[in-house]
Amino acid sequence: MIPRFLHLVATTAAYRGRRAYTLHPIDPSKFFHPTTPSHHSHGSTDDNNIKTMEEFQLPPAAMTLHGPSQLGDLGAMEFMLLGEGGRKGILAVDHKCRAVLYDTASRAVSTMPAMHAPKFCPVSVPVGDGLYVLKTNPMPDEAEHCFEALIYGHGPESRCKPDWYCHSLPPPPYDLHLDGDDRFFGDVCGHALVGGAYIWVSTEHSGTYSFSTVARSWSKLANWQMPFGGRAEYVPELGVSLGFSSQDNMLCACDLAGVEIPRPPKVLGKWEDVVQGKEWIPMTSELVPLGSGKVFIAKFFQVREKGYNDYGYGNSDCFAVFTGVELENSGGQLRMRKHKSIRYQRVWIAT
């Protein structure tokens, strides 16, 4: 059964020195046809798909959260799902590590314990009722608190009742130094939860590592990288992990749990889930498995006008394309069917 709502956190221009974050409920069922479409993913031309794509504004915000009063990125906040599938709510953390939890079911806000160190654009992996947070590109002198877990239970300061607490974990064992081209060996480029208890992390130049949430220890898997850029999600009814290709941002699938180390994972399928305009610049992509092979996809793009430069000067337009797709195992092969794509104008993504 498709969940009633998913939740998108978007950001708007700063108001009185504070950046505003708005939480929008998204009904995923509107991106799926009542019955399975008969055509496959390439049923119409690219130009027709783009030209006929419906355009809407985001639904009204369920709540608004103002970030700290600071200049530049110091006023930014990070948003992460807490609990498997986000069932515990949405965690918001600012650059001073202050945190609040928004329960989407009860629409209540709770204070949460502060993390030990700030993390900009971190890797966040919900496991069970908890959350594991890893800094994406830690500096060599930031290893001590670059990896933490938010856990519910009897922490070091709890006396009688269980509560949420943050626990620092061993830093990843890969090198954090720079190479000759000023690139960090430890930059995380892809991650996934495998087998319900192992967090796999691929780095730019040091291979792929696994963290056991049971033993709380790291191990190196191999020198290869997972084929995904960013987060991959496990789809139990298909027995595969889904993500977006690090090469071209297309939807792809592979069986991470069945990998025979040290052999790299084999891509079992790759599809053009969203037809992109030539001038569209991909910003970030997310997917949410909905059950029964259905997947909700959110991709965010930017279009830059002539004169725009890499320092952010010039005019640009940011927008999102939400798509419903359906995957099935047919004769041992994965197939994807597209349902609906809707474009949302002027969306600045926060998470």
**Lowest mean pLDDT across 104-108, 140-144, 342-346:** 140-144
Is 321 in contact with 274 (CB distance < 8 Å)? yes
Helix (H) or strand (E) holding 49: helix 46-51
Tokens representing 71? 């200049």
**What pLDDT, on a 0 to 100 scale, did the predictor assign at position 25?**
94
Tokens representing 173? 């064992």
Helix (H) or strand (E) holding 230: strand 230-235
The pLDDT of residue 227 is above 80: yes
The pLDDT of residue 146 is above 70: yes
The pLDDT of residue 274 is above 80: yes
The pLDDT of residue 311 is above 70: no
- Mean pLDDT value of segment 98-103: 95
Q: Which CATH number is correct for 79-226, 2.120.10.80, 3.90.45.10, 2.60.40.10, 3.40.50.2300? A: 2.120.10.80
- Mean pLDDT value of segment 102-129: 93
Burial of 197: CB neighbours in 10 Å, binned 0-12, 13-18, 19+: middle
Site of tokens 């939480």: 23
- Mean pLDDT value of segment 234-259: 96
**What pLDDT, on a 0 to 100 scale, did the predictor assign at position 52?**
64
Q: What is the pTM of this model?
A: 0.89
Residue with the larger pLDDT of the pair 50 and 255: 255
Percent of the chain with pLDDT over 70: 84
**What pLDDT, on a 0 to 100 scale, did the predictor assign at position 46?**
46
Confidence band for 42, pLDDT divided at 50, 70 and 90: very low
Is 118 in contact with 137 (CB distance < 8 Å)? no
The set of long-range contacts for 107-114, using a CB threshold of 8 Å and a minimum separation of 24, is 107/62, 107/63, 112/150, 112/164, 113/150, 113/163, 113/164, 113/165, 113/166, 114/166
* Alpha-carbon distances, residue 92 vs 4, 115, 116, 286 (angstroms): 22, 11, 15, 18
d(Cα 347, Cα 20) in Å, to the nearest integer? 13
d(Cα 79, Cα 68) in Å, to the nearest integer? 14
Q: Phi then psi for 333, rounded to 5 degrees?
A: -120, 140
The pLDDT of residue 350 is above 70: no
**What pLDDT, on a 0 to 100 scale, did the predictor assign at position 158?**
65
**What pLDDT, on a 0 to 100 scale, did the predictor assign at position 347?**
80
**What pLDDT, on a 0 to 100 scale, did the predictor assign at position 99?**
96
Is 328 in contact with 334 (CB distance < 8 Å)? yes
Residue with the larger pLDDT of the pair 183 and 9: 9
- Mean pLDDT value of segment 241-257: 96
Confidence band for 143, pLDDT divided at 50, 70 and 90: confident
How confident is the model over 156-211, as pLDDT tens digits? 776 678 899 999 999 998 776 555 555 555 689 999 999 999 999 999 888 999 99
- Mean pLDDT value of segment 125-150: 90
- Residue of 116, 75, 114 lying closest to 91 (CA atoms): 114
d(Cα 178, Cα 186) in Å, to the nearest integer? 9
d(Cα 96, Cα 2) in Å, to the nearest integer? 37
* pLDDT averaged over every residue in the chain: 86
Confidence band for 236, pLDDT divided at 50, 70 and 90: very high
- Residue of 61, 5, 49 lying closest to 30 (CA atoms): 5
| Domains of the chain, residue spans | 79-226
**What pLDDT, on a 0 to 100 scale, did the predictor assign at position 47?**
41
Dihedral angle over CA of 286, 289, 293, 294, nearest 10:
-70
